[in-house]
Each structure stands twice: as C-alpha cells, then as structure tokens.
Amino acid sequence: MPDAKHDFLTSPASLEQFLDSWEAGTLPKPQWTHAAHVAVGACYTVRFGASALEHTRAGIRRYNEAVGTVNGPDSGYHETLTRFWSLVLAKALVGVDDPWAAACKAVALFGEERSLHTRYYSFDVVRSTHARQTWVPPDLQPI
C-alpha cells in the first residue's frame, strides 16, 4: 500500500508523523495539498466516526490560523466542502478500520479529484460566501 507520490503515506509511522505536524500547525503550508486534506479526513473518519466532521473542522481552522491563512468570508475554512468531503469519505471507507489503510484508499480514490464537488454543486453555490460559512446541500445530485 505504500504511496511513492505522497511521502506521508509510505508507512503508518510516516502518516502519524504527518498528522502530528499538521495538528501542531508545523506542517509546511505547501504540503497541505488536496491529497493531504483527503488523508486527514480519512484518518479522522476511522478514528472519530460520527464526530469526524467536528474534529476535521476544528483541525483545518486551527491549521489555517497557524500558517497565517485567514478563516474568513473569502478564504480559509469552507464548511460546505469540508462536510461534502466528510460524507464522501464516510461512504467510501465503510468497513475500513485502520487509519493508514483508510488514508491510502482515500488518496488512491480521491487524491487527484479536487473537482469532484462539481458533479454535485453548481459553480455559484460553492463559490458563495454562504456555502463557505454554512452547510449547503448539493444542488445537482445527492451525495
């Protein structure tokens, strides 16, 4: 299962080290990629179950603050996309109980799928300030 493209997935230990640095706010900002978001979401899905979204939300906001990204109406944390990805990952990871296996599977499935949300949301919905601040259900098709 090691992933040569994503160093943080080469072993369970490398994933833990990545998570530790992300949670501490010391992960270099260029390493906070879409695949990294997916890996964190996958780990949290397995570790925290029903409260994964709460942990993910708090972690993204905390990390953004640590690296100087403003969580505001036009930047930083995005509630609709975070909740969307939490739902997608929860569905994809049913039956997976190991955080590293979950991260590897999720990154293999979605690590390059930055635009997956466009199948579910109109452009204007996701770009809205309202969707950034509160959950907006998909307007094109259900998740």
Q: Give the pLDDT of the chain (143 residues) as one tens digit per residue.
A: 556 589 999 999 999 999 999 999 999 999 999 999 999 999 999 999 999 999 999 999 999 999 999 999 999 999 999 999 999 999 999 999 999 999 999 999 999 999 999 999 999 999 999 999 999 999 999 99
**pTM for this entry:** 0.94
Report the distance separating Cα 38 and Cα 103, nearest Å. Answer: 7
Alpha carbon dihedral 110, 66, 47, 86, in 10-degree steps, equals -40
What per-residue confidence (pLDDT) applies to 5?
82
Residue among 142, 46, 143 at smallest CA distance from 93:
46
Quickly tell me which residue has 């969307």 as its tokens.
Answer: 84
What per-residue confidence (pLDDT) applies to 1?
57
Report the distance separating Cα 20 and Cα 105, nearest Å. Answer: 20
What per-residue confidence (pLDDT) applies to 3?
61
What per-residue confidence (pLDDT) applies to 2?
56
For 128, residues 6+ apart whose C-beta sits below 8 A from its C-beta are: 136
Report the distance separating Cα 47 and Cα 42, nearest Å. Answer: 9
Residue among 92, 79, 99 at smallest CA distance from 17:
99
What per-residue confidence (pLDDT) applies to 43?
98
φ, ψ (nearest 5 deg) of residue 135: -70, 130
